[in-house]
């Protein structure tokens, strides 16, 4: 049942061209690392994440290393690296952004915490999901 599961990332690149290229939360580069074994949460800031997306036309999975912004335990921005972003909150671009609350796994033997979440985007074209792993 793969109907309406994901938008193709290429479609998002095209449809997000009109999105703000300004970075409302500061410069886009990872300024935080998930390396504190005593922490069970991520500090607010930019992180490099693996973002998985399924092409709804070809039903092939694609995986990208992208920048995401975390605020209060939630992924609030995905930066596509081409000047476009999708973000939580009010927007005028015509999409709804839901999800993003991180499920955090405490540090293991590698002394790194990790987190996963799913972002759902809905617009006039359909609904897409992005699985994010940090």
Question: Residues 57-112: pLDDT tens digits?
Answer: 667 788 999 999 999 999 999 999 999 999 998 888 999 999 999 999 887 777 78
Q: Is the pLDDT of residue 34 over 60?
A: no
Question: What average pLDDT does the structure give for the chain?
Answer: 75
Domains identified in the chain, total number: 1
- Let me know if residue 76 belongs to a domain: yes
Q: Which domain range does residue 87 map to?
A: 9-133
Q: What is the pLDDT of residue 106?
A: 80
Residue carrying structure tokens 């912004």: 69
- Cα–Cα distance measured from residue 47 to residue 69, given in angstroms and rounded to the nearest whole number: 6
In a domain, 44, yes or no: yes
Give the global pTM: 0.69
**1 within some domain:** no
108 domain-assigned: yes
**Cα–Cα distance for residue pair 12/6, rounded to 1 Å:** 10
Position 3 in a domain: no
Distance CA 86, CA 69 (A): 11
Cα–Cα distances in angstroms (integers) from residue 79 to residues 3, 9, 112, 123, 133, in the given order:
25, 12, 23, 18, 14
Specify the higher pLDDT residue, 14 or 95. Answer: 95
In a domain, 4, yes or no: no
pLDDT of residue 75: 97
Domain contains 2: no
In a domain, 111, yes or no: yes
């Amino acid at each position: 049942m793969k109907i309406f599961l994901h938008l193709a990332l290429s479609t998002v690149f095209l449809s997000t061209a009109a999105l703000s290229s300004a970075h409302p939360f500061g410069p886009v580069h990872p300024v935080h690392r998930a390396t504190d074994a005593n922490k069970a949460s991520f500090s607010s800031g930019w992180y490099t994440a693996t973002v998985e997306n399924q092409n709804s036309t070809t039903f092939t999975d694609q995986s990208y290393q992208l920048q995401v912004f975390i605020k209060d335990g939630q992924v609030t921005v995905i930066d596509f690296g081409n000047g476009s972003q999708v973000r939580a909150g009010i927007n005028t671009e015509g999409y709804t952004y839901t999800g993003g609350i991180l499920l955090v796994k405490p540090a293991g033997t590698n002394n790194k915490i990790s987190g996963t979440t799913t972002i759902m985007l809905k617009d006039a074209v359909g609904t897409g999901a992005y699985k994010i792993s940090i």
